[in-house]
């Protein structure tokens, strides 16, 4: 399987997952679908599918679980962009959800995508015990100990300069939690051992931190067209970023070190790791 093959499978499933009624009754579903199908690399479901494949899991059975995390991720982006949060007008090269549909509908679209994520996950044709474990992994990653906690810490940090340790704690929850969960979901769906689950979680967390540092770099070094949203907004809003702490050269070194640590953990615990090794290294130098 290539990255494009995985992305095609995920996009086809996501496109069919929301039925949009005609007229006013379809407004909420239309808002959900607007953000869900707005593009994106689909890294999270790809990670889930590949971890399942590495452990001999059923790809088709894992697909709903993989797509569930993309739905949850999309909900987080919709809410992240709201005026009460980051107040962004552009996401993936398109107007953000609240710009198109209004704040109330956008908020509800995010809420509904979160609910749909668990409904879809629980529909997956995998063993009940594995499915329950997957639901628990996703709930914890999304909630007050995971992504929401990271967002809360991020808001509390506004207006003051954070240390590297404080910034890493934020990003390990805000970005790392869902990437770590993506790896764990695929492994869990395939019946992973506890040691394999632990290794998948560590890989995802390290990849997530490298991913966030690269995001911070792109906000300075990329262009609006490449990034799909306005660049330079972090500096304008005086946000705490790794670029502000380290500068470009040290950021690049940190990304390389984190990526190599992630690959080392991967290769020590799994076989046939070529795809994920290449994916991790390609993310080091992504431009969007």
Mean pLDDT in residue range 110-128: 97
Task: Say yes or no to pLDDT of 262 above 70.
Answer: yes
pLDDT band at 15 (very low <50, low <70, confident <90, very high): very high
pLDDT band at 230 (very low <50, low <70, confident <90, very high): low
Task: Say yes or no to pLDDT of 40 above 80.
Answer: yes
Mean pLDDT in residue range 279-287: 91
Residues 196, 255: Cα–Cα separation, whole Å: 24
pLDDT of 224 reads 57
**pLDDT higher at 82 or 226:** 82
Contact call for residues 177 and 154 (beta carbons, < 8 A): no
The token pair that represents 259 in the structure block? 């990526």
**pLDDT higher at 261 or 229:** 261
Give the domains, in start order, of the chain with CATH numbers. Answer: 3-284 (1.10.600.10)
pLDDT band at 223 (very low <50, low <70, confident <90, very high): low
Model confidence over 84-95: pLDDT tens digits? 988 889 898 899
Of all residues in the chain, the percent with pLDDT exceeding 70 is 94
Model confidence over 50-70: pLDDT tens digits? 999 999 999 999 999 999 999
Model confidence over 153-184: pLDDT tens digits? 998 988 888 999 999 999 999 999 999 999 99
pLDDT band at 22 (very low <50, low <70, confident <90, very high): confident
């Amino acid at each position: 399987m290539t990255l494009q093959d995985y992305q095609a499978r995920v996009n086809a499933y996501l496109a069919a997952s929301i039925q949009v009624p005609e007229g006013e009754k379809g407004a909420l579903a239309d808002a959900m679908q607007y953000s869900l199908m707005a593009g994106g690399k689909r890294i999270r479901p790809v990670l889930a599918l590949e971890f399942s494949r590495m452990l001999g899991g059923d790809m088709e059975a894992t697909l709903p679980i993989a797509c569930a995390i993309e739905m949850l991720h999309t909900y987080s982006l919709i809410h992240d962009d709201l005026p009460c949060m980051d107040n962004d007008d552009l996401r993936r090269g398109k107007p953000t959800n609240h710009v198109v549909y209004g704040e109330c509908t956008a908020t509800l679209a995010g809420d509904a995508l979160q609910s749909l994520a668990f409904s879809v996950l629980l529909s997956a044709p995998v063993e009940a015990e594995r499915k329950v474990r997957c639901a628990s992994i996703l709930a914890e990653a999304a909630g007050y100990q995971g992504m929401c906690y990271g967002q809360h810490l991020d808001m509390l940090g506004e207006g003051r300069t954070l240390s590297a340790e404080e910034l890493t704690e934020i990003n390990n929850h805000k970005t790392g939690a869902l990437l770590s969960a993506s790896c764990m979901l695929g492994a869990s769906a395939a019946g992973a051992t506890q040691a394999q689950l632990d290794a998948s979680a560590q890989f995802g967390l390290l990849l997530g931190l490298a991913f966030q540092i690269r995001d911070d770099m792109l906000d300075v070094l990329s262009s609006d067209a490449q990034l799909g949203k306005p660049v330079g907004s972090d500096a304008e809003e005086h946000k705490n970023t790794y670029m502000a702490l380290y500068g470009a050269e040290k950021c690049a070194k940190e990304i390389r070190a984190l990526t190599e640590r992630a690959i080392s953990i991967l290769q020590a615990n799994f076989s046939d790791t070529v795809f994920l090794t290449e994916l991790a290294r390609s993310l080091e130098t992504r431009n969007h």
